[in-house]
Amino acid sequence: MKTKFLLLLLLTILLQVNTSSFAREMKSARQIELRTKTPAQHRSIPITPAAFIEDALVTIDLLSTVPTATVVVKDAEGKVVYSSTEWNVDKINIDLTSEQKGKYTLEIQLPTEVFSGEFELEN
């Protein structure tokens, strides 16, 4: 009986610590709202990637592995500050610490769709 109680207590403590540390980790991350730039396709459930900015790190979660993904980041003047094509990827991290404060545009090109969103860098 004592063993079961201790095991349950330990499990409860671990879950509380893990949950609060995850909440703390995501506190400063801001979501980048992505819009599709391609014509609507007839899908029962649209799949839109999730993008977040935390400090100068952009994280893109594609929700599943895609064969190719091209990511382009442009500054407010339209100048490309980052461009990369990744193969067989489901998550992409972009470090923009060398870039200046300001507004930027994120474009994600997938095999069948293109998404775009704006964010502000607050270094």
Q: Give the residue numbers spanning the domain of 65.
A: 30-38+46-122
CATH code of the domain containing 69: 2.60.40.3080
Local confidence band at 13 (pLDDT 50, 70, 90 cut-offs): confident
Above 50 in pLDDT, residue 38? yes
pLDDT, greater one: 79 or 20: 79
Q: How many domains does the chain have?
A: 1
Asked if residue 21 belongs to a domain, the reply is no
**Given phi > 0 = left and psi -120 to 50 = alpha, else beta, which region is 63?**
left
Asked if residue 22 belongs to a domain, the reply is no
Asked if residue 18 belongs to a domain, the reply is no
Asked if residue 20 belongs to a domain, the reply is no
User: Quick check: helix, strand or coil at residue 90?
Assistant: strand
Residue 41: what pLDDT? 61
Asked if residue 2 belongs to a domain, the reply is no
Which residues are paired to 103 by β-bridges? 120
pTM above 0.75, yes or no: no
Asked if residue 105 belongs to a domain, the reply is yes
Residue 24: what pLDDT? 46
Residue 23: what pLDDT? 47
Asked if residue 92 belongs to a domain, the reply is yes
CA gyration radius, the chain: 19
Asked if residue 1 belongs to a domain, the reply is no
Local confidence band at 1 (pLDDT 50, 70, 90 cut-offs): confident
| Cα 43 to Cα 110: distance, rounded to the nearest angstrom | 16
